[in-house]
Amino acid sequence: MNTEKELKGCFDFFWNEANTDKNSPGYGLIRDKDTAENMSSIASVGFGLSAIIIGAERGYISKVEARDRTIGTLKTFLSNAASEYGFFYHFLDMKTAQKYSSFSDCASIIDTSILLNGAITSAEYFGGEAEELFEQIYSRVNWKIYYNEEKNVYYMGYDPERGGGFGQWDMYAEQLMQYILGTASETYPVPPKIYEGFDRTLSEYGGYKFYNSPGGSLFTHQFSHAYFDFKDKTDKDGINWYENSVTATLAARQYATDNPNNFKTWHKNAWGVTACEGPDGYRGYGSPPFHPNIKDCNDGTIPPCGAIGSVIFTPDISLEALDYYYTIPNLAGKYGLKDAYNQDRNWTCDFCIGIDKGITITMLENHLTSMIHELYMRNKHVKKGAEKISLLH
């Protein structure tokens, strides 16, 4: 019952928190959070495109409504949305589709990749015009601009005011999707060797050995897995990223259960620390082992999307956590579970964030039906990229 309630709540966020003015340049853009008046997150839109499919299949909306909203959204990105070399800015103005003025921003490779992932599921589900629009959007993305050939890594961002690319994806995190999409491009591909460019260092917590991201946020073990089905696939280095996420999830739960700081909020059914809103604003919470340059910034905050977003890895304990969260006073609202809560600070977030509702709905649907995985995995570009970086077996 709570699973269905959460699915419907997540869908309602993406359906209701969108620009529905068909005469607007920003038609189809979805808010970063439901309290953000005019700020759209392109990653939220990516998850939202998949949420629309889920809504159509579950009968929340008609397939005609779903198709029309999807086509209009893809047209917005093809013709109106601010971009650099095909990469879109993190945040766009809901009304104009231009760079959100009050936020220091850059064209983002990871957020664009999440948008493309959602568009791929749209292309596969609807075909026809949706597929044509996706192909046009994807063909314009110049992955080479984001390729640091000297270091064999992707840049993290691109900003003309900073002189081009900056930062680097040199450690394992949520970026696996970028290697699939970038190597598969028919217009601006990067070489398959880029997959070898990020550090893979085994770490350990609580007897669990796994590859952890620098800050240990659980979303880094989830986002690429929401679309690409890594289960039963081992790369040429012998790494199975699905099994790695299973282990990372179990370690994250162990960390909350160990509760070294004695937080009131944390226990075996309240676990899965990840980036989310906290009492003092948005923070990159995470589980150890941390990178030497990263400090433990946890304050007892728990976001429901941490545990629920790992439901394909640890279904039993993730669903137990989901049911527990629905017993917390004031945590559930019109869009299902709110972003986070902290009993040590007597604080509950009063809004939802798109990417957190997005990982929740896609992972729950994959757990129940595998639909998003199946749509994504049958795409020709996904197959091509997976083959180039040896992720097919």
User: How high is the pLDDT of residue 296?
Assistant: 86
- pLDDT, one tens digit per residue, over 308-366 is 999 999 999 999 999 999 999 999 999 999 999 999 999 999 999 999 999 999 999 99
Please, what is the average pLDDT of the chain? 96
**Does residue 76 sit in helix, strand or coil?**
helix
User: How high is the pLDDT of residue 104?
Assistant: 64
**Could you tell me the pLDDT band of residue 105, with boundaries at 50, 70 and 90?**
confident
Does 162 have pLDDT greater than 90? Answer: no
**Could you tell me the pLDDT band of residue 146, with boundaries at 50, 70 and 90?**
very high
- pLDDT, one tens digit per residue, over 1-30 is 899 999 999 999 999 999 999 999 999 999
Whether 219 contacts 275, CB under 8 Å: yes
Percent of the chain, pLDDT > 70?
A: 99
User: How high is the pLDDT of residue 291?
Assistant: 84
Q: Mean per-residue pLDDT for 376-382? A: 98
**Could you tell me the pLDDT band of residue 102, with boundaries at 50, 70 and 90?**
low
Does 293 have pLDDT greater than 90? Answer: no
CATH number of the structural domain 2-388? 1.50.10.140
Does 172 have pLDDT greater than 70? Answer: yes
127 CB contacts (<8 Å, ≥6 apart)? none
Strand segments (E) across the chain: 39-41, 83-84, 87-88, 91-93, 107-108, 147-148, 153-154, 157-159, 164-166, 202-205, 208-211, 276-278, 281-283, 332-333, 336-337, 341-342, 347-348
Does 101 have pLDDT greater than 80? Answer: no
Q: Mean per-residue pLDDT for 127-133? A: 98
Whether 255 contacts 248, CB under 8 Å: no
Q: Mean per-residue pLDDT for 214-232? A: 97
User: How high is the pLDDT of residue 157?
Assistant: 87
User: How high is the pLDDT of residue 164?
Assistant: 79
Q: Mean per-residue pLDDT for 174-201? A: 97
**Does residue 270 sit in helix, strand or coil?**
strand
Q: Mean per-residue pLDDT for 137-164? A: 92
Does 175 have pLDDT greater than 80? Answer: yes
193 by Cβ neighbours in 10 Å (0-12 / 13-18 / 19+) ranks as exposed
Does 69 have pLDDT greater than 80? Answer: yes
Does 255 have pLDDT greater than 90? Answer: yes
Q: Could you give the angle at the alpha carbon of 366 between the alpha carbons of 241 and 180, nearest 5°? A: 45
Does 103 have pLDDT greater than 70? Answer: no
- Residue ranges covered by each domain of the chain: 2-388
The secondary structure of 128-145 as a DSSP string is HHHHHHHHHHHHT--GGG
